[in-house]
Each structure stands twice: as structure tokens, then as C-alpha cells.
Amino acid sequence: MRAAPAAQGAPAPRLPFPPDFVWGAATSAYQIEGAAADDGRGPSIWDTFCAQAGRIADGRDGAVACDHYHRMAEDVALMARLGLEAYRFSIAWPRVLPAGRGAVNAAGLDFYDRLVDALLAAGIEPWITLYHWDLPQALQDEGGWTARSTVDAFVAFAQVVAARLGDRVERWITHNEPWCASVLGHLEGVHAPGLTDPYAHLASSHHLLLSHGLAVPVIRAAAPGAQVGIALNLVPAEPASSSAADADAARHFDGCFNRWYLDPLAGRGYPADIVAHYQLTAYVDAWDFIHDGDMAAIAAPTDFLGVNYYSRGIIRGDAATGIETGAPTVVAGADKTDMDWEVYPEGLRALLVRVHQDYAPPAIYITENGAAYADGPDGAGRIADARRLAFHEGHLRACHQAIAEGVPLAGYFAWSLLDNFEWAFGYEKRFGLVWVDYETQTRRPKDSALWYRDAIAQGGL
Ligand code: FCB
């Protein structure tokens, strides 16, 4: 059952959100589904990466994860009990196209068909992310995102999924966080496919963006009425002091981390200062992966921008490392989550205002925001995750303020519905509104989930 809407007896909120504001939660396929070898799913780069010694903190993988593939109905019922209005999930490409392209695995596509129907029957709007990092290994064997052929494969994958689900799904996100896929996966080597290659960093980021742009019209054609966007992880950069060196470093960080994606999507090409930097440092000496027409394709008009926000970066000009890849320098003494990320809701407000002023996307959704804290069940089975509750409340207040300042912010997705496989950190970091006991696969809503349920029911805070 859906939670009662505010009009049916929930107390009036002090901070009401617009009536059509979308309240949701997010997950991704590899992090929750498990069933890695079921029903014809092919291997992904994350299966391969996890099997390599030393890659994952706890040595584990997503082979079982939250077993969502087998517990989908139970999980949708849980979402309904929490009153979620929308659920953002991703499609496992290797489930649908086990070899990356060519033959469609009907059983894999059927799973998402059933999920969409179950969500709609529960009154929950499905939001699909096409790529949340689980590239079919067969495509990696041909070069993965460094190869232009992967762009075509992605567009074909988008077509297959949109043709099947586009009659019922209106909201489509092409890519999740191309910065992570390109920098963490191809330069820092801490995510699959584990490369540390500057050329692969830039070639992959270009191909991710290009595949986004080329998929936009394909999704629209297959799913009439579709709203299409991309989800970027943006990190507002603040200079550590008033020195000129720190200001320069913050501008440079912003260029590598934020403008490298925002500018080309807005039709401005790659930011000249960062292109010059990569050239001057001989970071990349051939830009041969950029072909005529690519930049226009990347700038295909979209309906919304998805913003994933976790923290800010405080940037020092003398930092020996980090500026190149955009890794934030650490702020001593600040309030931090288990990821060591500073809790800083004001950064979200400032970021939203800045993105609105500088890029003016037609609408913005927070497609991820959340915090890792380890709090588990007490003797009575309650999970008193007060810090996570405060995190979401603080960031929703920042959202409310941004809306008051004129930002067209239209929804918020908590990361994550469930505790899940947190990539290189394995199962050690828990982001869920809902506790998962991985031994028994029991789900138990934390205090934050119950608080979120009430906020949704009231339509505000
Ligand atoms: C984001 C990812 C998501 C999750 C959160 C904590 O970068 O999109 O899958 O890992 O971080």
C-alpha cells in the first residue's frame, strides 16, 4: 500500500515541497541483483575485477549481493510500504546482451519487464539507468570504453531496452557518473576494468559521453514521450584559503571533475583550460578519439540533468596529488561519514544554484544522495541510524532552499534503498535506508527509512 498522501491526515510539513516533487530511492544492478550466473547472464567487467586478488576490500563480489533478482517482488512491496513514489534502478547490460551485442537474452529482459510491471502496479514510477558500470566482459575484451565500437554497442543496447520497456517507462538515464567510470576505472585503477592509463582515461570519458548523446534520440524514437537525461557526480570545489594558488587549484579541480562533463553536454566543447593542461603536461598526446561531429552529438538536448551529490572538495594549490584526477583533499576535523566524506549539505545548495545559473538544464533531479554509516540492529531489532537520518534531512533542507532560490529541482533519490555491494569497498560500507542481513537476506527498515516514509507522506519536512 502507498503511504497516505498529506491530504489524508498526515501533519502539514513545516517545509513543504512542490506537490509534483518526486520522492524516490536508487540502486544499481551489480550492487543488489546477485544471480550473476542465472538465466543466461553473461560476465561483466565487475565479475572479472572482483575475481582479481586485492581489488575489493573484503575480497567479496556481487555474485549474490542482496539477491534482489530472486527477491524482486518482496523488495517492491518494501518500497511500497515506504511510500516511495519513484525507484531508480539500472539494467544489467550482460543480462540483456550476454556478449554485449547481438543476441538478446529473453530471460534477462523479462526480469526488467516484470520489475517495471510490479513497480507500476504498486504506484511507483520506474526510472531506468542504462549504464551503471557493469560493461559486458566481451566488450572489454575488444577494448571496452576505450574502443569506439563500444559506443555503437551501447546505442544498440539502449534501443533494445527502450523498445521493450518504453511503452511503460518515461524516465531514462543513459549513464551513471562517467567521471567514476573513466577516472576510477581507467586512470586510478580502483574500479573495473582497473586500468591506470591516461589515454584510456580521456578516450573512455569521450566515448561514454558520445554514447550518451547518440542514445538520446534512439531512446526517444523507441519510447515516445520519454524524458531522457544523464546522471553526473558533481563535487563543488572550494579553495582551502584565499591564496591565488588555492583559487587556481580549485578552478582546475572543477574543470577536471565537473566542467569536463557539463561543458560538452551543454554544447560548449571540452573546457579549453583543461584541454591545454592535458596537452601541456603531455598527459595525452593524441586526441584521435574525437571525430568530426562528436561534440554536436554529445550536446543532444536532454530533458533533465541528474546530480549525484555526496560531498564537496576543499582544494589546496600545493597538493602533490589529487588535482589531476580530481580527488578532493581531506578536511581535517570535519563531520565525516564512514567513507571519510565530509557531511556538507550547504555544498548541495550552492552546487544546484551554480549548475542552474551556468548551465540552465530544463530540470534537475538529485539522482543520488546518501551516507555510509555502519549502525546495525540493537537488541530489539531497531536500527537507530540517527546520523543517516540527519544527513538526508540536512540535504533535503538544502534542496528546499535551492528551490526557493529558483532552481528547477524536481525530485530526490536517496542512495540507497538497501545496503549493498559498495564496489571496491565490498559490503563494508552501508548506504541503505534499509538494513540487509547478508546471511539471511532479511531486510529491516532503519529509522532513516521510517523518517523518509513520513516525509514523503507529508510532502515535506
Ligand atoms: C556513487 C555510485 C553508487 C554508489 C554511491 C555511494 O558514486 O553511483 O553506485 O556507489 O556512489
pLDDT given at position 129: 99
Q: Is 368 a catalytic residue?
A: yes
The answer, yes or no, to whether any atom of ligand 1 lies below 6 A from the CB of 368, is yes
Tens of pLDDT, residue by residue over 93-113, are: 999 999 999 999 999 999 999
CA atoms within 13 A of residue 135's CA, in its CB half-sphere: 28
* Segment 77-94, tens digit of pLDDT: 999 999 999 999 999 999
Q: What is the mean pLDDT of residues 26-31?
A: 99
- pLDDT tens-digit series, residues 391-410: 999 999 999 999 999 999 99
Q: CA–CA separation, 242 vs 358, rounded Å?
A: 23
Q: What whole-number distance in Å separates Cα of residue 455 and Cα of residue 435?
A: 19
Calculate mean pLDDT across residues 192-208. 96
pLDDT in tens, 401-441: 999 999 999 999 999 999 999 999 999 999 999 999 999 99
Average pLDDT of the residues in 236-245: 89
Ligand 1 in contact with 233 (CB < 6 A)?
yes
177 flagged as catalytic: yes
CA 266 to centroid of ligand 1, rounded, Å? 24
- Is residue 382 scored above 90 in pLDDT? yes
What is the arithmetic mean of pLDDT over 35-55? 98
Cβ partners under 8 Å of residue 259, min gap 6: 271, 274
Q: Write the pLDDT tens digit of every residue in 301-359.
A: 999 999 999 999 888 886 544 455 555 565 666 799 999 999 999 999 999 999 999 99
Higher pLDDT, 332 or 7: 332
Q: What's the confidence (pLDDT) of residue 4?
A: 40
Ligand 1 atom with the shortest distance to the CA of 423: 10
For ligand 1, whether the C-beta of 372 sits within 6 Å is no
| pLDDT at residue 2, rounded to an integer | 38
- Which atom of ligand 1 is found nearest the CA of 31? 9
pLDDT tens digits along 275-301? 988 887 666 778 999 999 999 999 999
Q: What does pTM read for this prediction?
A: 0.96
Q: Is the pLDDT of residue 1 over 70?
A: no
Write down the pLDDT at residue 122: 98
- What are the residue boundaries of the structural domains of the chain, listed by start? 22-458
What are 181-199's pLDDT values in tens digits? Answer: 999 999 999 999 999 999 9
Please state, for a pLDDT cut of 90, what percent of the chain lies above it: 88
Provide the CATH topology of domain 22-458.
Answer: TIM Barrel (3.20.20)
Ligand 1 nearest-atom number relative to CA 431: 6
